[in-house]
């Protein structure tokens, strides 16, 4: 296997920056990039080291051992070197020499001095190279030529700069002694990180990622590029097409640390309450939530479906005496929808548990769960929230305790008080839900609340009907900032009733026979809910579009990258 | 909505016990069940309460308020009742009256006395009813007629019985005061829990669940039923077809509590080591582990695949500066295989992390992770291990510290020393792996070890080749009791090298363009591994068949229930 380093420059024309469909970028964008590239290539011929750990020029440099490019790391060595995490650098390190592996966020030469900004997730630190004991002029040149986003090993003394550094998260500065390139970035990034990090105005990304909207945005984007350079913004589509680079921005780093944190908080609370984790099959014989919107596939000659939720299986676990279960896993919906809040694959946080008497046992428990999550976010992820707010400004999320409970009828009344008509026998639509959110916030001062006792028409077949009025159900939705994040209910735990209801809903009963039969052998009353992880994150931070809360979002037009 | 309780008895002929294909049970099994049913029906006419909370007979019983059947629980009431968990009953409760909701494990009448055994997961307790202050003769009759597996609310005084109870996990006994049926079980269980709980001999379930083998077992099973009643065993197929009931057995309860615990331990260790959780898409444009064994589906007119692992996406997360990530999620393999250790869907515990120099950083970290998991299992799940051992007897799992590391060549040498020929340039087959496990155990006294530096032929395209010898790779497998549970490696982090290798492996490069391009913009050296959750649980407890460690296993013939 030959060593590939240093070669990306050799055939630039073979590597245009491609979009999702393998097409190159627009002409103007490309032209600009090519000009930049030609300039850089010329520069590179003077500067860049070619061989393994060779200095930049052929003439001897007595300090050549202090810089260069590593050969490809293939586990050829176990050195005694100790790396220090960039994020851990503090006043305590001042005066000591540290070795850091990080990304080059920025490079700048000023006279005979070179400045590097190193980045590791949230953290940035400035490093500076003056010619002197450790550094030759050739080394300065080498440093100035390092491409942005390259990974380097940098050794330097931690110092306190004379002038405070405002552009980096760390107040300390590194006086460079050694710099080696670990992995060189291609010169041409799909976009600049600073452009992908600009503030998103409220409502700017609320629109669906549909064709027309995207074209308008991209046109604007190109015009911006040609004109005022400082206002360049990158459309969501371009960012998603080059998600790897987009995810390196501070807000995205923060969003996915937060997303991981929500799962952690969710599980902490459930473990502390005697829940166990389950893994239910995603390959199932019939649709779990009715026949529409289901992905079908061939399963060794038979037809199978991708689970639209773990609903049937988590209930079967309850019937198996696993009395409190949760699952975090993918949920598949073949919805041909391009809204700001729908995806074809998302992460479901599912709960199912035995109850003794009443679905309020579920609602109150889940209310406590959400309070635990919201308070945990505030406490543990302040830095992340700040980083998100920087690009996606949002009002702090307010959750009043105890969690507000409204019946569906009460919610309808509140709507009516505010001039909005809503039948108590039909489900809310999204627009009405948003309005309700505004009225609730105004009246009760909370961004989080529960609506319960939904009309039968609004709920699936497995929902238990109210005893006192069979036009309503023992069900509930939870809302954040006027958008639904959780649906749940007491379930039907009587096999005969379940079969009758499934038939009424037009479900082919034989495809769910195993599920229905599960209730024949003694069934605990039970219920649960399913929470959309990405919606929780999106709404907590008011991100405007659910794609911002999914690492690699899927919609009807997007399955790449 | 009408009340369905009490009705299951009315049309028994419409509800035969069906197997997976909707066919009734074998004739002899059915006949037997019918006889039992007829007898039970006759009995039921005398005993079973029909209406809501009505006593068993029409004539007035002054104690009728102490027993009966609840109407269907539909959240009609929030009482002040306090239920006590069966598992929490201890000496401290002696003398007090408790209300317990649990399953009826067994019922027995002896003269005028009725005995109930209640069960909740692991725990069982005996309850006894004598005619007296709280209990009429009719109530005794009612209790004796409760079908096994029904859910009841039972109120009773906790006492210490004169004679020690050996058949229950609790030493206390409940003197019954009230009994209400919450949910009545169908009389005819697909099999008795005690039959599904009998000891499984070593090797008995090692065989694949293929047609021929199953027929032999089922024939044996029926013969057993006709003959010696005490030796009735239930075949794995019958158990899996009626998984809901099978999962109620003690060993299965324990297995899935343990399985949940393994995930919890896994995450604890990773959180403590600065890992974050990710959720990568399962709907992807191309095969992630090569073209074979992939489930394909239509994705809005395009072709898509189900991810065979999160491999490409977890690496892309590393390229996005999420430097230490893990994912627990489903993995899909369309393998037409019926072995004891393959399934078409299983739970992957995936890890990916940045390294500085050498794949030993990965191996050593993962060795520590496994030690944490094994020690955690021993410490936290002793009761569960005991319950599993009762049905699936196993030698305690031995993990020597530090974890044994053998190179592939050293492993070949060890095989040779024991008379087994193995080429250093070809992968082990399963049989050789098992032999290696025996030799390692004999020589080093450990059930857990790592083999590394696999030949190139044995590893996927994204594996980094050794610098010193390109016939080998920077890769490793981990073994438990001679079976592979984890595969991992340092990955290729150079885009050009990766593209060349993908082509060499016959992969259509354009289907993974986004993945390859991800390495162009500065790439940290990195690696990781994928662990099969069900294999870890199966092998730790020597369960013999992976289906025992999956709630609802999937193989080419099984997608139900």
pLDDT of residue B122: 86
Long-range residue pairs from A270-276, CB within 8 A, at least 24 positions apart, any chain: A270/A324, A270/A326, A270/A351, A270/A369, A271/B264, A273/A324, A273/A365, A274/A324, A275/A324, A275/A325, A275/A326, A275/A351, A275/A353, A276/A322, A276/A324, A276/A325, A276/A326, A276/B256, A276/B257, A276/B260
| Average pLDDT of every residue of chain B | 89
Round to whole Å and give the CA distance between A114 and A103. Answer: 16
The SS3 of residue B166 is coil
Give catalytic status of residue B237 as yes or no.
no
DSSP 8-class letter at B548: G
Average pLDDT (A131-146) is 96
> Is B347 an 8 Å CB contact of chain A?
yes
Looking at A189-301, which runs of residues are DSSP E strands?
276-277, 283-284, 296-299
- pLDDT tens digits, residue range A58-84? 568 999 999 999 999 999 999 999 999
Record the tokens describing residue B157, joined without a space: 């005084």
- Yes or no, beta carbons of A300 and B557 under 8 Å apart: yes
In this prediction, residue A508 has a pLDDT band, given cuts at 50, 70 and 90, of confident
Round to whole Å and give the CA distance between A402 and A444. Answer: 12
The residue of chain A nearest to residue B243, with distances taken between CA atoms, is A320
Smallest Cα–Cα separation from A179: which of A141, A213, A122?
A: A141
Residue B309 clears pLDDT 90, i.e. is over it: yes
The CA-CA-CA angle for residues B39, B43, B46, to 5°, reads 155
Lowest mean pLDDT among A398-412, B54-68, B287-301: B54-68
Beta strands B151-159 and B97-110: pairing type? antiparallel
Record the tokens describing residue A553, joined without a space: 């979002």
- pLDDT tens digits, residue range B419-470? 999 999 999 999 999 999 999 999 999 999 999 999 999 999 999 999 999 9
Residue A127 clears pLDDT 50, i.e. is over it: yes
B251-549: CATH topology is BirA Bifunctional Protein; domain 2 (3.30.930)
DSSP 8-class letter at B523: -
- Identify whether the C-beta of residue B526 lies closer than 8 Å to the C-beta of residue B493: yes
Round to whole Å and give the CA distance between A116 and A109. Answer: 9
Round to whole Å and give the CA distance between B531 and A257. Answer: 23
- pLDDT tens digits, residue range B240-267? 999 999 999 999 999 999 999 999 999 9
Is domain B26-70+81-183 in CATH 2.40.50.140, yes or no? yes
Residue A291 clears pLDDT 60, i.e. is over it: yes
Q: DSSP labels for B330-388?
A: EEE------STT--SEEEEEEEEEE-SS-THHHHHHHHHHHHHHHHHHHHH-HHHHHHH
Residue A311 clears pLDDT 60, i.e. is over it: yes
Residue partners of A557: CB distance under 8 A and separation at least 6:
A209, A211, A338, B300
Round to whole Å and give the CA distance between B378 and B358. Answer: 32
Burial of residue A21 (CB within 10 Å: 0-12, 13-18, 19+) is exposed
The SS3 of residue B443 is helix
Give catalytic status of residue A335 as yes or no.
yes
Sign of CA dihedral B198, B204, B209, B212: negative
Task: Return the residue in B19, B244, B534 with the most chain A beta carbons within 10 A, the one to mutate for interface testing.
Answer: B244
Give catalytic status of residue A487 as yes or no.
yes
What is the side-by-side order of every strand in the sheet holding A324-332?
A276-277, A324-332, A345-354, A526-532, A483-490, A475-480, A448-452, A404-407
Sign of CA dihedral A61, A62, A67, A69: positive
In this prediction, residue B19 has a pLDDT band, given cuts at 50, 70 and 90, of very low
Round to whole Å and give the CA distance between B284 and B511. Answer: 9
Q: Spell out which residues of chain A touch residue B151, defining contact as CB-CB under 8 Å.
A: 522-524
Percentage of the residues of chain A whose pLDDT score is greater than 70:
84
pLDDT of residue B205: 79
Average pLDDT (A424-444) is 98
Q: DSSP labels for A511-555?
A: GGHHHHHTTSB----EEEEEEEHHHHHHHHTT-SSGGGGSSS--B
- Identify whether the C-beta of residue A8 lies closer than 8 Å to the C-beta of residue A185: no
- pLDDT tens digits, residue range B103-145? 999 999 999 999 999 999 989 999 999 999 999 999 999 999 9
- Identify whether the C-beta of residue B126 lies closer than 8 Å to the C-beta of residue B165: yes
Q: State the alpha helices, DSSP H only, in A289-417.
A: 311-319, 360-380, 382-391, 408-417
- pLDDT tens digits, residue range B191-201? 999 999 999 98
Record the tokens describing residue B303, joined without a space: 């072709």
Residue B238 clears pLDDT 70, i.e. is over it: yes
Complex-level ipTM? 0.89
> Is A45 an 8 Å CB contact of chain B?
no
A274 or A18, which is more confident? A274
pLDDT of residue B510: 87
A357 CB neighbour count, 10 Å cutoff: 18
Residue partners of B26: CB distance under 8 A and separation at least 6:
B218, B222
Give catalytic status of residue A248 as yes or no.
no
Beta strands B475-480 and B448-452: pairing type? antiparallel
Record the tokens describing residue A455, joined without a space: 């009309």
In this prediction, residue B511 has a pLDDT band, given cuts at 50, 70 and 90, of confident
Helix/strand/coil (H, E, C) string of A274-300? CCEECCCCCEECCCCCCCCCCCEEEEC
pLDDT of residue B292: 78
In this prediction, residue A56 has a pLDDT band, given cuts at 50, 70 and 90, of very low
- pLDDT tens digits, residue range A449-488? 999 999 999 999 999 999 999 999 999 999 999 999 999 9
Task: Return the residue in A70, A87, A189, A281 with the most chain B beta carbons within 10 A, the one to mutate for interface testing.
Answer: A281
pLDDT of residue B337: 92
CA distance A260 to chain B (A): 5
Task: Return the residue in A23, A75, A106, A186 with the most chain B beta carbons within 10 A, the one to mutate for interface testing.
Answer: A75
Round to whole Å and give the CA distance between A16 and A10. Answer: 13
Size of interface A-B (CB pairs under 8 A): 331
A23-71+81-183: CATH topology is OB fold (Dihydrolipoamide Acetyltransferase, E2P) (2.40.50)
CA distance B26 to chain A (A): 19
Average pLDDT (A145-174) is 97
Alpha carbon separation from B400 to A507, A545, B539 (Å, rounded): 55, 50, 16
B332 bridge partner residues: B345
In this prediction, residue B388 has a pLDDT band, given cuts at 50, 70 and 90, of very high
pLDDT of residue A11: 37
> Is A382 an 8 Å CB contact of chain B?
no
pLDDT of residue A393: 96
Residue partners of A2: CB distance under 8 A and separation at least 6:
none
Max CA distance (Å), chain A = 92
- pLDDT tens digits, residue range B347-381? 999 999 999 999 999 999 999 999 999 999 999 99
pLDDT of residue B59: 66
In the stretch 285-324 of chain A, residues with CB closer than 8 A to chain B read 285, 295-300, 302, 304, 306, 313, 316-317, 319-323
pLDDT of residue A201: 85
In this prediction, residue B209 has a pLDDT band, given cuts at 50, 70 and 90, of low
**So where are chain A's domains?**
23-71+81-183, 193-239, 251-549
Average pLDDT (A98-103) is 98
pLDDT of residue A204: 81
| Average pLDDT of every residue of chain A | 89
Q: Spell out which residues of chain B touch residue A332, defining contact as CB-CB under 8 Å.
A: 282-283
pLDDT of residue B289: 67
Round to whole Å and give the CA distance between A121 and A249. Answer: 8
Average pLDDT (A392-398) is 97
Lowest mean pLDDT among A4-8, A261-265, B455-459, B460-464: A4-8
Smallest Cα–Cα separation from A160: which of A147, A170, A148?
A: A170
Residue A139 clears pLDDT 80, i.e. is over it: yes
- Yes or no, beta carbons of A466 and B556 under 8 Å apart: no
Residue B49 clears pLDDT 50, i.e. is over it: no
> Is A281 an 8 Å CB contact of chain B?
yes
B423 CB neighbour count, 10 Å cutoff: 10
Smallest Cα–Cα separation from A34: which of A60, A11, A13?
A: A13
């Amino acid at each position: 296997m030959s060593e590939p380093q240093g070669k990306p420059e050799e055939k630039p024309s073979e590597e245009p920056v491609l979009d999702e469909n393998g097409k190159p970028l627009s002409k103007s964008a490309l032209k600009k990039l090519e000009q930049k590239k030609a300039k850089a290539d010329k520069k590179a011929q003077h500067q860049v080291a070619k061989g393994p750990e060779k200095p930049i020029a052929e003439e001897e440099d007595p300090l050549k051992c202090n810089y260069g490019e590593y050969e490809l790391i293939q586990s050829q060595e176990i050195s005694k070197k100790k790396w220090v995490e960039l994020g851990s650098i503090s006043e305590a390190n001042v005066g000591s020499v540290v070795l850091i592996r990080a990304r080059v966020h920025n490079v700048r030469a000023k006279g005979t001095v070179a400045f590097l900004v190193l980045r590791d997730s949230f953290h940035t630190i400035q490093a500076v190279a003056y010619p002197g004991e450790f550094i030759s002029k050739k080394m300065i040149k080498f440093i100035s030529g390092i491409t942005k986003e390259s990974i380097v090993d940098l050794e330097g003394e931690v110092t306190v700069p004379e002038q405070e550094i405002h552009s980096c998260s760390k107040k300390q500065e590194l006086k460079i002694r050694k710099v080696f390139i670990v992995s060189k970035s291609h010169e041409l990034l799909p976009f600049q990180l600073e452009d992908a990090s600009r503030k998103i105005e409220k409502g700017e990304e609320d629109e669906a990622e549909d064709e027309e909207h995207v074209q308008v945005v991209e046109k604007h984007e190109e015009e911006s590029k040609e004109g005022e350079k400082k206002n360049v913004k990158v459309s969501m589509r371009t960012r998603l097409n080059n998600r790897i680079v987009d995810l390196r921005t501070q807000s995205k780093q923060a969003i996915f640390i937060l997303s991981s944190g929500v799962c952690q908080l969710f599980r902490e609370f459930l473990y502390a309450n005697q829940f166990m984790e389950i893994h239910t099959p995603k390959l199932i014989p019939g649709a779990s939530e009715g026949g529409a919107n289901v992905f079908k596939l061939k399963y060794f000659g038979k037809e199978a479906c991708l689970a639209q939720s773990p609903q049937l299986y988590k209930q079967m676990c309850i019937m198996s005496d696993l009395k409190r279960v949760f699952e975090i896993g993918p949920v598949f919906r073949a919805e041909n929808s391009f809204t700001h809040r729908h995806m074809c694959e998302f992460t479901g946080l599912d709960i199912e548990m035995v109850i003794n008497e009443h679905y309020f046992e579920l609602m109150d428990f889940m209310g406590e769960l959400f309070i635990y999550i919201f308070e945990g976010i505030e406490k543990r992820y302040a830095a992340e929230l700040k980083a998100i707010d920087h690009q996606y400004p949002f009002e702090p999320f307010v959750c009043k305790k105890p969690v507000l409970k409204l019946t569906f009828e009460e919610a309808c009344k509140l709507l009516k008080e505010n001039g909005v008509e809503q039948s108590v026998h039909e489900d809310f639509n999204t627009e009405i839900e948003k309005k309700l959110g505004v009225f609730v916030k105004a009246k009760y001062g909370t961004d989080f609340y529960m609506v319960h006792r939904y009309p039968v028409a609004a709920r699936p077949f497995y929902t238990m009907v109210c005893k006192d009025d069979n036009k309503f159900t023992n069900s509930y939705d939870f809302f954040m900032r006027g958008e639904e994040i959780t649906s749940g209910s007491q379930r039907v735990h009587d096999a005969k009733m379940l079969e009758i209801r499934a038939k009424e809903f037009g479900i082919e009963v034989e495809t769910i026979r195993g599920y229905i039969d599960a209730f024949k052998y003694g069934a605990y009353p039970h219920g649960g809910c399913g929470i959309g992880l990405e919606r929780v994150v999106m709404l907590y931070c008011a991100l405007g579009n659910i794609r911002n809360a999914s690492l690699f979002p899927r919609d009807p037009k997007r399955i790449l990258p």
